Amino acid sequence: MIGIAELLARPVSDEDIAVACASLGLPPLAFHGAGGEDARLAVLRSNGSIDVAACPGSGKTTLLVAKLAILAKRWTSPAAGVCVLSHTNVARLEIEKRLGADPAGRAILSYPHFIGTIHGFVNQFIALPWLRSQGIDVVAIDDDICLRRRLHKLTPPQRSRVLQTKRREGLLRIVDANHDVGDVAWGGGPLGKHTATYQAFVAACQATTAEGYFCHDDMMIWAAQALDRNPELRNAVRQRFPVLFLDEVQDNDDVQSAILHRLFMDDDRPVVRQRFGDMNQAIYGSASATDLNGTNSNVFPNAAISIPVANSHRFGTQIATLADGLALSPPGLIGLREHPEPERGRQAAILLFGTQQATAVLPAFAHLLTTRFSPAERAAGVFAAVGAVNRRRTGTPDRRPKGTPLWRWRASTLGAPFA
C-alpha cells in the first residue's frame, strides 16, 4: 500500500487521462483541445494546490469528476479519503451521478471519502459533535422553523413590532456564540444593546439553542467555537482528508471561507487544496463577488496558483467577445461552439437595467423576441427567461424577481409569461 504523499507525487500520464475519459464515456482526447495542449490538461496533471478559474461552459464539473476518477483508481488508504465540497446540493448530486457510472469512481462515494455541501461537512464533522458534547440535542437545522420559534419567544408587542419591520428575517439571527444579534435597525436608528427589546432578542436565541433549534448559518458559529477551544480538531480533519476539492468556490461567503481555511490550510501544514469556480458567476453578496480588489487573504483565484480555463463550449465567438468585455474579471473568453448556419449573423443582445427598472425586464425581453424573430420562428419556438419572485406576503406590494422560477412564452401569447 503506497502512502498518501507518494500517491500525490505520482505524475498523471496520458494513459491515466484516457482511462478516466473512457470510464466517463468521453472521447479519449476530450481534454486535449484542438491544439493538443489545452489548459484542462494542466489541471488534470496537477497534484498540488491550484485554483481553476473556469469560464461558463468550460466543462468545469466534468473536469473535476475526471480528476476524481483518476484519484479513485489510485487510492488505497482505508482510513484517509478525499473531501469534495460544493456550495449546493445540485452540484453534489451532479458529481455523484457522474462518478456513479464508473465502477472505480463509485469507491470515492463512500467511506473514507466525503462528497457533500460545505454546511453538511461542517455539521457532520465539527458543529454537531461539538453541540452534543455540550449536552445540546439538535432537533432541527432549518431557518424557517428556528426563526419562527425565536419570534414566538418574544412578547406580543415585541413580536408585532418585528413583523412590521422591513428586514424582519434578519433580526433574530445570531452573529456569535454569545447569541448577540448584531446591529438591529429599529425605527429611526439602531436598537441599543442595553434595551429590554434587544435583550429579549438575545434571550429568544439562547432559548432555541437550548431546545436544539438552529438556523443553517448558526452552525458555522458553533464550528468556529469548537475550533477556538479545540485547535487540535483541524489536525484530525487533515489526517482524515489530506486532499480537498472545492467546487463553485466563488459562492462561498466570508464565514464559510474562514472556517474551511482554518480547517484545511491555516499554519505550515496545509492539505492539497484544489478550488474550482468562476468569479464572474459569483452570487451577489458572496465573498468573491464583494472582494474584487483582493483584500481577502483567501481570495479566489490566487494568481500564484491559478490555472485559467477560458474556452467555452456553451457559446460561439460572438457571444464570447461580447460577454468578455462586460465581465467583472475578464477571463479572455474563447467561444468554441459553432452555431447552425441560419443562426449565424443573428445579433446578440444584453439588457442592462437598474433596480427601479427590474419589473420592466420581462416585457422588454418579450418585445425583443417579437422584433428579432419572424412570425414563423415565433410560432415554432419556445422562449424562456430565468428569474425569481419574492415569497408572497400579506400586505407586501413588492413582487420584483428575486428567486428562481422559469417563465416561458408561447408565440400566441408572446409578452404574457406563464410558469
pLDDT, tens digit only, all 419 positions of the chain: 567 778 888 899 999 999 999 988 889 888 887 777 789 999 999 999 999 998 888 888 899 999 999 999 899 999 999 999 998 888 888 888 888 877 778 889 999 999 999 999 999 999 999 999 999 999 999 999 999 999 999 999 999 989 888 777 778 999 999 999 999 888 778 889 999 999 999 999 999 999 999 999 999 999 999 999 999 999 999 999 999 999 988 888 889 999 999 999 998 899 999 999 887 776 655 545 444 334 455 788 898 999 998 888 777 787 777 777 777 765 677 777 766 544 555 677 888 888 788 788 888 988 888 888 888 888 888 888 766 555 544 444 455 544 444 455 444 444 444 33
Distance between alpha carbon 238 and the CA centroid of its chain, in Å? 22
Spatial separation of the C-alpha atoms in residues 214 and 210, rounded to whole Å: 10
CB–CB of 299/51 below 8 Å? no
pLDDT given for residue 388 in this prediction: 58
What pTM does this model have? 0.81
The kind and range of the H/E element at 54 are strand 50-54
pLDDT given for residue 332 in this prediction: 79
pLDDT given for residue 283 in this prediction: 62
Which CATH fold topology does 4-123+227-309 show?
Rossmann fold (3.40.50)
**What count of Cα atoms within 13 Å lies in the side-chain half-sphere of residue 163?**
14
SS3 197: helix
pLDDT given for residue 349 in this prediction: 80
Spatial separation of the C-alpha atoms in residues 3 and 22, rounded to whole Å: 27
Spatial separation of the C-alpha atoms in residues 318 and 280, rounded to whole Å: 18
Q: Which residues pair with 186 in a beta bridge?
A: 189
pLDDT given for residue 165 in this prediction: 82
pLDDT given for residue 141 in this prediction: 97
SS3 86: strand
Spatial separation of the C-alpha atoms in residues 384 and 406, rounded to whole Å: 7
- Nearest CA-CA partner of 312 in 327, 301, 292, 299: 327
pLDDT given for residue 293 in this prediction: 38
pLDDT given for residue 345 in this prediction: 55
CB–CB of 118/85 below 8 Å? yes
pLDDT given for residue 330 in this prediction: 59
pLDDT given for residue 281 in this prediction: 73
